[in-house]
Structure 1
Amino acid sequence: MIEQKYRPLMEVRQLSLHFHQYGKELRKMMTVAITNFDMTIHREEIVAVVGASGSGKSLLANSILGILPKNAELGGKLYFEGEELTIEKQIQLRGKDIFLIPQSINALDPLMKTGKQVELVIKKKDRKNIRKNIFKKLGLPPEIGDLYPFELSGGMARRVLVAMAMASEAKLIIADEPTPGLDIDARNETLALIKHLSDSGKGVMFITHDLNAAHSIADRVAVFYAGQTLEVANAKDFSGTGNSLRHPYSRALWNALPQNNFFPTFEVQKFTEKSPTGCVYRCRCPLSTDLCAQQQPEAKMVDNGMVRCFHA
């Protein structure tokens, strides 16, 4: 576990993301994607961002990288190595100090040999030998560099994406949903590669909806729901019946996993309307009170993380 006394590599404070759109009768609307998101990542640390599909996890990655559409409005503060991450700074660091491992292996250029793609990321002169050494570390045979992406298996192609992240000398790696659709062997191999990046000194943001994958390699887990961090907990807290977890949603996610017998903790309810006030989880929470409907809970710092709940 990383000592928290050291300055964070990446810090996200009260991040919000809105999209301005036009609805029926050309009426201007604002869609809220992320609100009050807080997180820190240190060197040699993996922080997993866990949430259901559609919760806004990938938009978080786009916000940090500065690759949002023109109708997006970003609020809050982003800091990298203690310096505010402005638009100009994002452009400067993107692909250099901050590197994205995309969800799909289709991100590889189909018309360029894989070795060349990795070498393009390397800034030093001895690109070929550096690339070969990285391939060796990742168990990629030298001849892989002479092949095109379509000639590789899915597992090999994913290792090439990781090789690009290693070759970039980036300090922060954002891995966006790297495991969906993989068989168990390919999944475990991908997780081992992500762990290797952290062990080599990089900070890693691991975006996933797979809680099992997250808690198996992460140091801390940020639980994401409806565009908010409800809890940031130590990965070891996801054990047993989840009694060490402080937020009801975190416990519900954990207890719903197969090894926990899909234990139903409460009856699922649907939001009847989108309310600008109150806890975003209140309509599904077994602990919900009138206070939860009236106010949005502030983030409370606990141990190496935080929780956003009146009853924690």
Structure 2
Amino acid sequence: MKSIKLSKKTEAVLQVEELSVSFVQYTKGLQQKNLRVISSLNIDIHPGEVLAVVGSSGSGKSLLAHAILGILPSNATVEGKISYKGETLTPKKQQQLRGQEIALVPQSVNYLDPLMRVGKQVRTSVKDADPIKAQREVFARYHLKPEVENLFPFQLSGGMARRVLVSTAVVSGAELIIADEPTPGMDTASVQEAIKCFRKLADDGAAVMLITHDIETALKIADRIAVFYAGTTVEVAPVKDFKGKGEELRHPYSKALWRALPQNDFIPIKGFQPLPSALPSGCLFEPRCNLATSHCSKVQPQARIIRNGMVRCIHAT
């Protein structure tokens, strides 16, 4: 099935259609099995847009980023289609674009080269400006003192290391920026500066994918929110729909996630997200859903466009 596209004035920079990611695993007796951790995942992102990807741990957010960049481990199998500017992202193309037109702000600070001073690492990402000037300006923006440029990664605190990673993406001039949980460990001022910078990058024409657990932070800068659950997209909605009691949202999980926030009703979601080895045969949220019927347990719902948003739920109106 082709992914459903929402109407946009510009062509998508990134188009992910029916993406599935499986990993080969060995059980007792060296029996081989394929563990599918992402299935039928669809998103798109356009120039000038911040798309926030939210969901609990294990929902497939970081794996999506790694699939786009072509940095999944060797035991992974990828199905479906990932396109960049209308061209299929082959492994060769991914290697050419990675760190150039597509930049990653990774979740782990281990992506920093432990043997290179951090100032030099940031300068290697500068393409169209004076590297030293660009690096020093971005460090000042993120409250990194001048002497930090001469430090090695092991000499940085966790928050400092994350600010260096954000700096690297900011100076790269990339057209697609994937920020995977970029702000944990930062102080409040640095968090605000970082998210403002991502918003400015989008306003200047870049496409920004912000992967985060923090819906509140996402709402401050995003244009749309993609809600992930158990390895698939259950809803993509405009930011304006995240308000009140969640009446404008389409999927029961999105509504439950919204109402579970402390500033809303603080109502916990019953049950647990299923493990990849024990996925339901029908709707992935069916075991936890108050609206579930017998039909919901049979087939995973197809993606539909409702009220200018995408949803996978037969009950959505």
Using the size of structure 2 for normalisation, the TM-score is: 0.88
Deviation for aligned residue 1:169: 1.5
3-state SS of paired residue (1:214): helix
Q: d(CA) in 2 for partners of 1:180 and 1:113?
A: 22
3-state SS of paired residue (1:174): strand
Deviation for aligned residue 1:186: 4.3
Q: d(CA) in 2 for partners of 1:199 and 1:151?
A: 34
The answer on 1:268 being equivalent to 2:271 is yes
The answer on 1:159 being equivalent to 2:163 is yes
Q: What fraction of aligned residue pairs are identical, expressed as a percent?
A: 52
Q: d(CA) in 2 for partners of 1:80 and 1:173?
A: 12
8 Å contact from structure 1 (residues 159, 193) kept in 2: no
**Of 149-158 and 74-83, the range deviating more from structure 2:** 149-158
8 Å contact from structure 2 (residues 10, 47) kept in 1: no
- Among 27, 34, 40, the alignment partner of 1:36 is 40
3-state SS of paired residue (1:223): strand
The answer on 1:168 being equivalent to 2:177 is no
Q: Aligned residue for 2:201?
A: 197
The answer on 1:215 being equivalent to 2:225 is no
* Paired amino acid for 1:300: R
Deviation for aligned residue 1:37: 0.5
8 Å contact from structure 2 (residues 166, 182) kept in 1: no
Instruction: Show CA shifts across 1:274-299 (max 9, x none).
Output: 35631111000000011111121100
- Among 221, 240, 257, the alignment partner of 1:236 is 240
3-state SS of paired residue (2:250): coil
In the superposition, relative to structure 1, how do residues 267 and 124 fare at CA in structure 2: closer, same or farther (>3 Å)? closer
Q: Aligned residue for 2:298?
A: 294
Q: Aligned residue for 2:191?
A: 187
Structure 2 residue runs without a partner (length 5+): 1-5
In the superposition, relative to structure 1, how do residues 95 and 234 fare at CA in structure 2: closer, same or farther (>3 Å)? same
Q: d(CA) in 1 for partners of 2:307 and 2:177?
A: 25
Q: d(CA) in 2 for partners of 1:65 and 1:180?
A: 22
Structure 1 residue runs without a partner (length 5+): none
Q: CA RMSD in A?
A: 2.5
* Paired amino acid for 1:236: K
Q: Aligned residue for 2:135?
A: 131
Q: d(CA) in 1 for partners of 2:307 and 2:89?
A: 26
The count of aligned residue pairs is 310
8 Å contact from structure 1 (residues 7, 42) kept in 2: yes
**Of 267-276 and 196-205, the range deviating more from structure 2:** 267-276
Q: d(CA) in 1 for partners of 2:184 and 2:126?
A: 28
Using the size of structure 1 for normalisation, the TM-score is: 0.90
8 Å contact from structure 1 (residues 8, 40) kept in 2: yes
3-state SS of paired residue (1:297): coil
Q: d(CA) in 1 for partners of 2:140 and 2:274?
A: 51
